[in-house]
Each structure stands twice: as C-alpha cells, then as structure tokens.
C-alpha cells in the first residue's frame, strides 16, 4: 500500500498513576514487517504501554516516534491518523451495522458516509475494498450480517480488518487470541504473519506463550513496569531471569 512503513520507537516511556509506577523507563522498537510481542505477568504494565502508544494516555515521561515525529501527548485520533492502528480487547464494532459497513466506514473514503446520516452510505469502491480486506483477513461469513451477532472469532477478524482499513504502518493488538479455540488461534496466527509480511509492524500483547513463541520475530518482556529482557523467541525461552519471573521456574 501507499505508505512507507516506519519504525515505531518507544523511548524511556514512563507512566505513573497516583504513586504507582505502572511503566518505568521503557524503550523498545516495533520494526515494519515484523511481529514484536510484549509479554509479562499480570500487572506488568503491558496495557498501559499500549494505551500510551495509541495516544490514550499521555506518558508521564519519555516519548514515542514514528518516522522520527514524536506522537506522545497528541491524542488517539492524531496517533491513528499518523499510522498507528489499534484493535481492542473489548469489541469496538458498531453492532447494528453490517460487517461490510463496519470496515467500509473505517476506510479513508468511507468516512464521508458517516456524515451523510445515521444509515451508513459507502461508495461502491469503499464497499469493494472492504469486502476484499475482509476476505484477505479470512472472514468467510456473510458481509451483510450485523456485527452485533458475530461469533467470537469472526468478530476478531472483522476488528482486525477494520483496523487495517485505516492503512496503518503499525498495528497494536491487545490479547487478540483470548477466548479463541485452538483452530481459531492458528487462523489468527497465520493472519498476523500475513499482516507483517505485508510490511506492517505488529505489536502483540498476548498471554498464550505457544502463540507468542511461534509467531514473534522479537519479544519484549516487562516485569513490574520495567524491561526485563528482549530478544528472539529462542533467546527469551533460554533467559534465566525471564524463566524465574514469568514462566514460573
Ligand atoms: P498488564 O496489562 O500488564 O496486566 P497494566 O498496564 O494493566 O498491566 O497495569 C500495570 C499497573 O498499573 C498495575 O499495577 C495496575 O494496577 C496499574 N494501573 C493500570 N491502569 C491504571 C489506572 N488507570 N489507574 C491506576 N492504576 C492503574
Ligand atoms: Mg492488560
């Protein structure tokens, strides 16, 4: 697609809530064309990190950049426009709209439709693009189904198609495999690899270690808000500090 994909750089990000340091001095990179996973025990600061990188939280200190432009403190809309897309743990789809319209409305040209009234009105080109994105993501159901009635895995696929409709450079995912069957996790894993192969930088927060080890190019381990280790899956699996803190050994 049209954008040249950049590296998302987190530089010494910190987030303090009241007196609690949820994230401390965190630096890492999300490379285009790679899956980078952010892992760590409950409360380690993973969601807080995603909330900073998607513009929902303004970091207490530090910054993050895409194409060397600082994005912290600019708000979620600006961060999304600059190319950092996010799919959420809880569904953000419009339940009463069709699967197709949910994706078409996220397309740059689809937004016009939202201004024309409560009914979604999307240009034929936007509908075609949305349909092909949905199929590319592996969605096999009817395009006219209301998103509110979707099965769990289909909702995930539609959410990802919707995030991709914004033509992002980086895609942030918060536990996309939660609640999926083993077969559906395999579909999701293949999709995330396909997204990376298309040149997008994927940042994955995920609890399923088998999935993380299978699909990650790079892993960042957080513990109590701090960077504990980073490396390839093999390096992380062999890291004694990680095994002690996280894998329970
Ligand atoms: P994870 O996603 O790794 O489980 P979180 O980022 O949700 O961890 O939380 C990290 C720490 O920050 C925890 O101690 C949590 O209680 C605290 N925390 C997270 N969000 C808030 C908030 N909005 N207000 C106060 N404390 C928070
Ligand atoms: Mg979390």
**pLDDT tens digit sequence for 8-23:** 999 999 999 998 999 9
Compute the mean pLDDT over every residue in the chain, rounded to the nearest whole number: 91
**What pLDDT shows up at residue 121?**
58
Co-location of 89 and 113 in the same domain: no
In a domain, 46, yes or no: yes
In a domain, 155, yes or no: no
Taking a C-beta distance cutoff of 8 angstroms, is the pair 150, 180 a contact?
no
- The count of residues in the chain is 249
Of ligand 1's atoms, which has the minimum distance to the CA of residue 42? 4
**What pLDDT shows up at residue 2?**
56
Determine if ligand 1 sits within 6 Å of the CB of residue 43: yes
Co-location of 141 and 32 in the same domain: no
Check: complex ipTM more than 0.85: yes
CATH of the domain at 31: 3.40.50.300
Co-location of 214 and 127 in the same domain: no
Co-location of 89 and 179 in the same domain: yes
**What pLDDT shows up at residue 92?**
78
Number of domains in the chain: 2
In a domain, 192, yes or no: yes
Co-location of 78 and 99 in the same domain: no
The pLDDT of 146-168, averaged and rounded, is 94
In a domain, 201, yes or no: yes
Confidence band of 109 (pLDDT split at 50, 70, 90) = low
In a domain, 142, yes or no: yes
Q: Which residues lie below 8 Å from residue 247, measured CB to CB, with a gap of 6+?
A: 209
Co-location of 173 and 195 in the same domain: yes
Q: Which residues lie below 8 Å from residue 179, measured CB to CB, with a gap of 6+?
A: 152
In a domain, 158, yes or no: no
Beta bridge partners of 61: 14
What is the three-class DSSP state of 211? helix
Co-location of 12 and 87 in the same domain: yes
Determine if ligand 1 sits within 6 Å of the CB of residue 46: yes
**What pLDDT shows up at residue 79?**
93
Co-location of 89 and 186 in the same domain: yes
Tokens matching residue 34: 């790679």
Nearest to 135 by CA among 194, 69, 189, 219: 194
Co-location of 37 and 145 in the same domain: no
Of ligand 1's atoms, which has the minimum distance to the CA of residue 222? 3
Query: In this structure, which residue's CA is closest to atom 13 in ligand 1?
Result: 43
Site to probe by mutation for ligand 1, drawn from 14, 18, 22 as the one with most ligand atoms within 8 Å of Cβ, is 22
Confidence band of 108 (pLDDT split at 50, 70, 90) = confident
What is the three-class DSSP state of 130? helix
- Strands 8-17 and 20-30: what pairing? antiparallel
Specify burial of residue 174 (Cβ count, 10 A radius: 0-12, 13-18, 19+): buried
Determine if ligand 1 sits within 6 Å of the CB of residue 44: yes
**What pLDDT shows up at residue 188?**
97
**What pLDDT shows up at residue 118?**
45
Using the structure block, give the residue that is written with the tokens 């994230």: 23
d(CA 148, CA 143): 13
Number of CB atoms found within 10 A of residue 10's CB: 24
Determine if ligand 1 sits within 6 Å of the CB of residue 20: yes
The pLDDT of 164-183, averaged and rounded, is 95
* pLDDT surpasses 70 at 25: yes
Confidence band of 247 (pLDDT split at 50, 70, 90) = low
Confidence band of 90 (pLDDT split at 50, 70, 90) = low
Domain that holds residue 110: 94-149
In a domain, 20, yes or no: yes
């Amino acid at each position: 697609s049209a954008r040249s994909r950049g590296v998302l750089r987190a530089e010494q990000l910190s987030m303090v809530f009241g007196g609690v340091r949820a994230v401390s001095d965190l630096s890492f990179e999300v490379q285009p064309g790679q899956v980078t996973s952010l892992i760590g025990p409950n409360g380690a600061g993973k969601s807080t990190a995603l909330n900073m990188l998607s513009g929902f939280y303004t970091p207490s200190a530090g910054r993050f950049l895409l194409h060397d432009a600082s994005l912290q403190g600019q708000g979620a809309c600006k961060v999304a426009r600059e190319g950092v897309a996010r799919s959420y743990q809880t569904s953000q789809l419009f339940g009463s709209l069709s699967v197709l319209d949910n994706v078409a409305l996220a397309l740059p040209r689809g937004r016009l439709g939202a201004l024309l009234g409560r009914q979604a009105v999307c240009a034929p080109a936007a509908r075609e693009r949305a349909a092909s994105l949905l199929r590319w993501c592996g969605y096999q159901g009817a395009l006219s189904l209301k998103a509110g009635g979707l099965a769990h895995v289909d909702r995930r696929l539609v959410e990802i198609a919707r995030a991709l409709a914004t033509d992002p450079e980086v895609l942030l995912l918060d536990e996309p495999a939660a609640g999926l069957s083993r077969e559906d996790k395999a579909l999701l894993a293949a999709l995330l690899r396909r997204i990376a192969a298309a040149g997008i930088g994927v940042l994955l927060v995920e609890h399923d270690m088998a999935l993380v080890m299978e699909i990650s190019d790079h892993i960042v381990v957080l513990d109590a808000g701090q960077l504990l280790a980073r490396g390839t899956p093999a390096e992380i699996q062999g890291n004694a500090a990680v095994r002690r803190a996280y894998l329970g050994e």
